[in-house]
Amino acid sequence: MVVDTVLLQIVACSLSILMLAAGTQKLAYRQQFAAALAAYELAPACSMPLLLWLIPLLELSVGAGLLFAPDRPVFIAVAALLFGVYALAMVINLWRGRHDIDCGCQLGSAPQQISYALVVRNLLLILAAGVLLLPAGERALHWFDYGVICFGVAMACLLYGAGNNLVATHKRLLAL
């Protein structure tokens, strides 16, 4: 299966923006990130100082890599691995009955509780990263392709934000 270069560029740029925003957010709100990370109770306390730097730096590196070298499998693999680890951490805590902890997804704003919807979101992000491993069609990009890419990235960001808001407010919506 060959995928059009425009679609691959949209996916790579969208995932890049997500990873760059996530890494920047974790560095900007270090105390909230530390609290969210500790609440998962999955890593020993002695590893927290390392993880507080390692996770955002990995996200920033992957974000930059997907922006400037979207065809490099290492960036795609690390992105998928991070999304998978985040999903697994949520699943483990949901199985423990710990539905009330902050996912750490929206630092600096209202806390968002972990849920299976967030797990599904992360699985979809893994799938999106996997699309980048498919072979690209061989055609030159034209000026209008760049407009389509910009529009596609803007739409992907809007859809991600809307989906995130639906996940964050679904309990309130069900109570109406």
pLDDT digits (tens, 9 = 90+) for 49-98: 999 999 999 999 999 999 998 778 999 999 999 999 999 999 999 999 99
Share of the chain above pLDDT 70, in %: 95
Measured between alpha carbons, how far is 109 from 156 in angstroms, rounded to an integer? 21
Q: Is the pLDDT of residue 31 over 60?
A: yes
> Which pTM does this prediction carry?
0.91
> pLDDT tens digits for 130-145?
999 999 888 888 999 9
CB-CB neighbours of 24 under 10 Å: 15
For residue 95, count CB atoms less than 10 angstroms from its CB and return exposed for 0-12, middle for 13-18, buried for 19 or more: exposed
* The pair of three-digit structure tokens given for residue 123, joined into one six-digit string: 């699985």
Q: Are 11 and 131 in contact (CB under 8 A)?
A: yes
Question: pLDDT value at position 72?
Answer: 87
> What angle do helix axes 48-68 and 5-28 make, rounded to 10 degrees?
150
pLDDT of residue 173: 60
Q: Residue 175 — very low, low, confident or very high, per pLDDT cuts 50/70/90?
A: low
Distance of CA 45 to the CA centre of its chain: 25
Mean pLDDT (the chain, rounded): 91
Backbone angles phi, psi at 3, to 5 degrees: -110, 140
Instruction: Flag whether pLDDT at 121 surpasses 60.
Output: yes
Distance from C-alpha of 47 to C-alpha of 94, rounded to nearest angstrom: 23
